[in-house]
DNA sequence: AATGAATGAGGATTCATTCAT
DNA sequence: GATGAATGAATCCTCATTCAT
């Protein structure tokens, strides 16, 4: 009794399973079988829906970045002042769903992967550009022409804290991470007023 | 034409070849054969000298970190003032031999690997601790009790710039990287005087 | 032409092929590929169904011992008198399916293997205990308390004839083997009456 | 400073090392390197003296059989009566130097090997014939024409006890082994007198 | 829609053997 | 006499992928 409309469900399950498996193993060296098993189906079906391992990975990356993008957009919508907008972006980078051991590990793995896989590289480029643009827009009312440079620094710092969190034992400290970011932010904001 | 005392030569060649190959491919998914071929020997010999792929990787990581450590030590020895010491550390992080596309890519790959391999994790931990300690000592005369926290921020920023450089197209800009770091450093140093 | 329910068929084929190949080569130094080829499939499939060479060997041993156990049980069921029961056991040890050059060679190879492989050792131990118990039970009505010791002697003699048969050129003589056993049996049975 | 007359010393050391290593591992799957290391030399030297692994094994087999032959000859020389001669042969089969876990294991391994290697097969054949001839000669004065058949039975029983000893946990019981043999011997000797 | 069956390609590792010194 | 150096060949095992049902 074949079911209809299974495709989106299956794809979603596979993508979630991929993130989980890659995150857990901390490496892209996961087999399609492992992913499929975790998603509750055969590896043949995984191929059927995605065509190949690379596509599965790509879909998983898209999911991670889309999740991040979505939550950021929501946070921005809630912010009322320019400064609140900046802080919202920074906070969201370390918000619970993203700043989770598994997701960080998966993110880092995909990051490495992007060195080789052009499509993956493109995805990260989009994410980076959006982050940069968001930050710049938020900072502009506060620091004017200094905004782009500051956005670049904050972006690098976010990535740096992320990558360090990937090795944190036993678990990365969300509060501490945010504190460091805010500390630097404060300095940068003071810039304009000097 | 077998000679005596080949071991250190072969090991060195293999380590360099490993860094190059991993750097070029941007991934640890390199075969022992590839590494051995690049080093000009059979894969069997590579196993003979290192015992296994893991040991080869470990040796390559050690080399990268040792290279970095050595150059930093030299730079510190040359510095005359406290501030010069801090700058020396930061500059050295992006100095030519380290801040090279291949080395950066290899470094990032090993970073991911460290999530899984305990020994590799330990190596990075040592590196991180040393960087933190160097920075803290250098900052202490300038900012006192604020030094450790600032060292942490600078360390994360260094890593962040590194990881971003891994994806930079076509090549990471050493000058820009340093500029960002120095910018933040300046802010941090001003802290004490406020 | 993939069908369903191939697993038992494939496993059976592999087990038979293993016994044949080990028997023919007279050694456990057979490759999985050789076994798989003889069984008409790829070595990858052999691994798929058994997980590894060791498991294949274990399954082959189990098959040999199970075959022997089955035929013995049937022979015992047919025997009507105590003496007939003893003779049935001895005869079955050298009955056609078991006492075949290939099977003997395979059996001997596994025997050696059992010195090293605990699981294989356990299997042989079970076989030996069962033979001993069968013989003892059959002898008890005839020779009373002497039965266990006699069973041990007959068991050792069976193994001795087996191992000698492994080197027999061109083929072991079933009749002669049995004759020797029966000769000793006759002596042992006379024991009680002296 | 090359030493003269090292050859016999090296060969002896290698042969002993082979028996020990094969006995310990309970398998012929020992590497030339392991043997050479145990004998205190490089594997290249082992090849130099023996030409190849097979020759090393052959030499080891010869040693085992020669040791056995020598001790038997001595024991026979000490025996004064026909019966004592028979018992001497049997006892010697389980005498300390031969009936040792390692030697038994090595012997069994070589036995299996003989199924494949013609030269090894020939060696065992010689040993078997000599044992048979020794036993027959010793039995003839006692049981006349029955001697050859009895020799065959005793020979098989010896091998049977040997092979079982190879799996004995934790160590084979020399006394029990001999007892079984003597028990059967007694029966066989009674034969003539009936 | 879903999967068991099946395999080719590839990779780490081991080892007997050779060779130049 | 002795060995470190070196390798080709082999072997186990894994895995992405395909296919018939």
D24-53 confidence digits (pLDDT tens): 999 999 999 999 999 999 999 999 999 999
Count Cα atoms within 13 angstroms, Cβ side, for D1: 0
pLDDT at position A4 over 80: no
Where on the phi/psi map is residue B40: left (φ > 0), alpha (ψ -120 to 50), or beta? left
pLDDT of residue A194: 46
Contacts of B162 in chain A (CB under 8 A): 160
pLDDT of residue B99: 87
Give the DSSP H/E element, type plus range, for residue A145: none
What's the whole-number average pLDDT of chain C? Answer: 93
Q: What is the dihedral of CA B47, B52, B57, B62, to 10 degrees?
A: -80
- Separation of CA A7 and C1' F21 in angstroms? 21
pLDDT above 70 covers a percentage of chain C that reads: 97
Distance (Å) from the C-alpha of residue D92 to the closest C-alpha of chain C?
Answer: 18
Cα–Cα nearest to B160, from A171, A155, A172, A69: A155
**B109 touching A (Cβ < 8 Å):** yes
Average pLDDT over every residue of A105-127: 93
Q: Give the separation between CA D185 and CA D151, rounded to whole angstroms.
A: 10
Task: Map tokens 């020759």 to a residue.
Answer: D55
pLDDT at position D156 over 80: yes
**A161 touching B (Cβ < 8 Å):** yes
Task: Map tokens 């931990």 to a residue.
Answer: B125
Average pLDDT over every residue of A162-171: 88
CB A133 within 8 Å of CB A89: no
Instruction: Choose the closest CB to D184 out of C113, C114, C153.
Output: C153
User: Hey, is B145 helix, strand or coil?
Assistant: helix
Q: Give the separation between CA D17 and CA D31, rounded to whole angstroms.
A: 12
Q: How far is CA C185 from CA B166, C172, D113, in A?
A: 82, 21, 32
Would you report the helix, strand and coil content of chain B in percent, each value rounded to 5?
80, 0, 20
Q: How far is CA C21 from CA B4, B67, C101, C105, C106, in A?
A: 45, 55, 12, 10, 8
Cα–Cα nearest to A157, from A102, A109, A93, A81: A93
Contacts of A157 in chain B (CB under 8 A): 153, 156-157, 160
pLDDT of residue C166: 92
What's the whole-number average pLDDT of chain A? Answer: 92
CB D105 within 8 Å of CB D23: yes
Q: Do B167 and A109 touch (CB under 8 A)?
A: no
Q: Do C156 and D180 touch (CB under 8 A)?
A: yes
Cα D90 to chain centroid, rounded: 13
CB B140 within 8 Å of CB B156: no
Burial class (CB in 10 A: 0-12, 13-18, 19+), A165: buried
Where on the phi/psi map is residue A171: left (φ > 0), alpha (ψ -120 to 50), or beta? beta
Instruction: Choose the closest CB to B111 out of A161, A163, A188.
Output: A163
**Tens of pLDDT, residues D73-110:** 999 999 999 999 999 999 999 988 888 899 999 999 99
Contacts of C190 in chain D (CB under 8 A): 187
In the structure, do chain C and chain A come into contact, i.e. share 3 or more CB pairs under 8 Å? no
CB neighbours of residue D100 within 10 Å: 17
- Cα diameter, chain C: 69
Count Cα atoms within 13 angstroms, Cβ side, for C12: 6
Q: Do D167 and C121 touch (CB under 8 A)?
A: yes
Instruction: Choose the closest CB to D157 out of C105, C157, C190.
Output: C157
pLDDT category, D193, cuts 50, 70, 90?
Answer: low
In the structure, do chain D and chain B come into contact, i.e. share 3 or more CB pairs under 8 Å? no
**A113 touching B (Cβ < 8 Å):** yes
**C167 touching D (Cβ < 8 Å):** yes
**C24 touching D (Cβ < 8 Å):** no
Q: Give the separation between CA D84 and CA D92, rounded to whole angstroms.
A: 12
**D44 touching C (Cβ < 8 Å):** no
CB neighbours of residue C93 within 10 Å: 24
Of A115-119, B66-70, C34-38, C113-117, which one has max mean pLDDT?
C34-38
**C104 touching D (Cβ < 8 Å):** no
pLDDT of residue D1: 43
Q: Give the separation between CA A103 and CA A113, rounded to whole angstroms.
A: 15
- Separation of CA C34 and C1' F4 in angstroms? 36
pLDDT at position D192 over 70: no
**B186 touching A (Cβ < 8 Å):** no
**A192 vs A12, which has greater pLDDT?**
A12
**B105 touching A (Cβ < 8 Å):** yes
Q: Do D180 and C116 touch (CB under 8 A)?
A: no
Instruction: Choose the closest CB to C26 out of D115, D156, D180.
Output: D115
Closest protein residue to E15 (Cα–C1'): D31
The answer to whether the beta carbon of residue C1 comes closer than 7 angstroms to any atom of strand F is: yes
pLDDT of residue B3: 66
CB C165 within 8 Å of CB C108: no
Distance (Å) from the C-alpha of residue D182 to the closest C-alpha of chain C?
Answer: 11
The answer to whether the beta carbon of residue A32 comes closer than 7 angstroms to any atom of strand F is: yes
pLDDT at position D2 over 60: no
- Separation of CA D48 and C1' F9 in angstroms? 21
pLDDT at position C194 over 50: no
Q: Give the separation between CA D88 and CA D75, rounded to whole angstroms.
A: 6
The answer to whether the beta carbon of residue B42 comes closer than 7 angstroms to any atom of strand F is: yes
Contacts of C116 in chain D (CB under 8 A): 25-27
pLDDT at position A81 over 80: yes
CB D110 within 8 Å of CB D57: yes
Assigned token pair, D57: 């094994």
Assigned token pair, D11: 């060969």
pLDDT < 70: residue spans in chain B: 1-3, 192-194
Contacts of B116 in chain A (CB under 8 A): 25-27
Establish, for the pair of chains A and B, how many residue pairs have beta carbons separated by less than 8 Å: 108
pLDDT of residue C134: 96
**A164 touching B (Cβ < 8 Å):** yes
Q: Do D149 and C108 touch (CB under 8 A)?
A: no
Assigned token pair, C129: 């205990």
Closest protein residue to E5 (Cα–C1'): C2
The answer to whether the beta carbon of residue D43 comes closer than 7 angstroms to any atom of strand F is: yes
Poorest-pLDDT segment among A2-16, A40-54, B16-30, D139-153: A2-16
pLDDT above 70 covers a percentage of chain D that reads: 96
Task: Map tokens 């082959």 to a residue.
Answer: C60
Cα–Cα nearest to A15, from A67, A63, A65: A63
The answer to whether the beta carbon of residue C54 comes closer than 7 angstroms to any atom of strand F is: yes
Cα–Cα nearest to A64, from A103, A27, A33: A103
- Separation of CA A97 and C1' F13 in angstroms? 38
Radius of gyration from C-alpha coordinates of chain C: 19
**Tens of pLDDT, residues A23-60:** 999 999 999 999 999 999 999 999 999 999 999 999 99
Which chains have at least 3 CB atom pairs separated by less than 8 Å from chain C? Answer: D
CB C53 within 8 Å of CB C32: yes
Of A67-81, C31-45, C82-96, C173-187, which one has max mean pLDDT?
C31-45
pLDDT at position C181 over 80: yes
Residue of D nearest to C157 (CA): D157
Residue of C nearest to D186 (CA): C187
């Amino acid at each position: 009794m074949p079911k209809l409309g299974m495709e989106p469900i299956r794809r979603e399950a596979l993508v979630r399973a991929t993130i989980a498996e890659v995150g857990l193993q901390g490496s892209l060296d996961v087999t399609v079988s492992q992913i499929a098993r975790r998603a509750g189906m055969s590896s043949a079906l995984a191929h059927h829906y995605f065509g190949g391992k690379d596509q599965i990975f790509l879909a998983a990356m898209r999911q991670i970045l889309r999740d991040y993008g979505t939550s950021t957009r929501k946070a921005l919508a809630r912010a009322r002042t320019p400064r609140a907008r900046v802080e919202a972006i920074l906070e969201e980078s370390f918000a619970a769903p993203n700043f989770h051991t598994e997701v960080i590990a998966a993110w880092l793995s995909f990051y490495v992967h992007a060195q080789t896989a052009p499509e993956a590289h493109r995805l990260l480029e989009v994410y980076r550009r959006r982050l940069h643009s968001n930050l710049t827009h938020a900072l502009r009312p506060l620091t004017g022409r200094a905004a782009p440079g500051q956005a670049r620094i904050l972006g690098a710092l976010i990535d740096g804290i992320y990558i360090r969190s990937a090795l944190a034992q036993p678990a990365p400290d969300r509060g501490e991470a945010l504190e460091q970011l805010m500390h630097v932010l404060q300095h940068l904001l003071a810039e304009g007023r000097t």
